[in-house]
Amino acid sequence: MDQHLGQRTIKSCVSTTGIGVHTGNKVSIKFKPASENTGIRFIRTDLSNTPAIKACASRVSNTMLATTLSQSGASVSCIEHLMAALWALGIDNLVIEIDSEEVPIMDGSAAPFIYLLKQAGIRQHNTAKQFIKIKKALEVTAGDAKACLLPYDGFKASYTFVYDHPVFNRYPKHTSLDFTKTSFIDEASKARSFGLTKDLDQAQALNKCLGSSLENAVGIDDHHILNQDGLRYEDEFVKHKILDAIGDLYLLGKSLLGEFIGYKSGHPTNNALARELLANPDAWELVSLNGQPQQASTIPFMQPIAA
């Protein structure tokens, strides 16, 4: 008889260091196993009372250039790529100790976090993992930006980017990925943040993006991609927008069974969509799924646990 898919954590502690893309400061981050129903919890070890900040859509306090969580006066920012990595590995419960206000940017994608957490190993709890199954369409708009969730038996995401620029005009401005058939880890997790050098000067004048470099972003001037090796995927820009949306929506605390559609959307719209879902409990239900954790086919968008 099938058993249910259980919640997941990691087997052992792992840590790394990197820089905060906005502060430019060095950051140490440590991932520790957590018991069932803990959720994802950040601990600010640099603050005197080591406050905990729960990863949760209703605790998002700022969405300018990154997603920031706040709780009891403490904040942690730039959490979205890490959250996308946790979604990819199906990790439900984790304690994350961090000695700064910002998750390190690593290479600007989710891939370094996935690599590190796979080194720690994935452990399944006995408690059933719950999924949010979309039953009715939800939509939010902000100006001409739009984000939607629709019913779908699996998880897929599409994104449309509208920007008339000589570089963006050379690459796809739309992509659609069905993670029931396509591996997020192989096909999207390596997509990096990107930005125009002219916007970088403006952001740095506001003390943002002080740690930004071609080591952690795709840099674009008026006509060229500045990174010597070019892009990792032809549609890296739109794939990164999907990666951001997945990370932002994983603040719901559970993986979605449904379809995400984004049009010119970003962190503010992603968080508005998550809050819209929380405000409409008739549009979704919690479900658990049967299956062996080693079988990728049971729920293909989630990384199987290595035997």
What lies within 8 Å, CB to CB, of 206 at 6+ separation is none
Report whether 77 contacts 67 (CB < 8 A).
Answer: yes
Active site residue 125: no
State how far the Cα of 198 lies from the Cα of 150, in Å rounded to an integer: 37
Helices (H), 129-222: 184-187, 197-205
State how far the Cα of 56 lies from the Cα of 177, in Å rounded to an integer: 25
Closer of 102 and 244 to Zn ion (Cβ): 244
Q: Among residues 22, 81, 240, 267, which one is catalytic?
A: 267
Q: Which of residues 181-200 bind Zn ion (CB under 5 A)?
A: 193
- CB count within 10 Å of CB 121 equals 14
As measured in angstroms, the least distance from the Cβ of 212 to Zn ion is: 12
Closer of 62 and 127 to Zn ion (Cβ): 62
As measured in angstroms, the least distance from the Cβ of 33 to Zn ion is: 27
Q: Is 177 helix (H, G, I), strand (E, B) or coil?
A: strand
As measured in angstroms, the least distance from the Cβ of 123 to Zn ion is: 28
Which one of 97, 236, 244, 248 is in contact with Zn ion (CB under 5 A)?
244
Distance between start and end Cα atoms, the chain: 19
As measured in angstroms, the least distance from the Cβ of 240 to Zn ion is: 6
Q: Which residue is nearest to Zn ion (CB)?
A: 244
The window from 97-105, 205-213, 238-246, 253-261 that contacts Zn ion (CB under 5 A) reads 238-246
Q: Is 300 helix (H, G, I), strand (E, B) or coil?
A: coil
Residues binding Zn ion: number (CB under 5 A): 2
Q: Which positions lie near Zn ion, rule CB under 5 A? A: 193, 244
Which are the catalytic amino acids?
A: 267
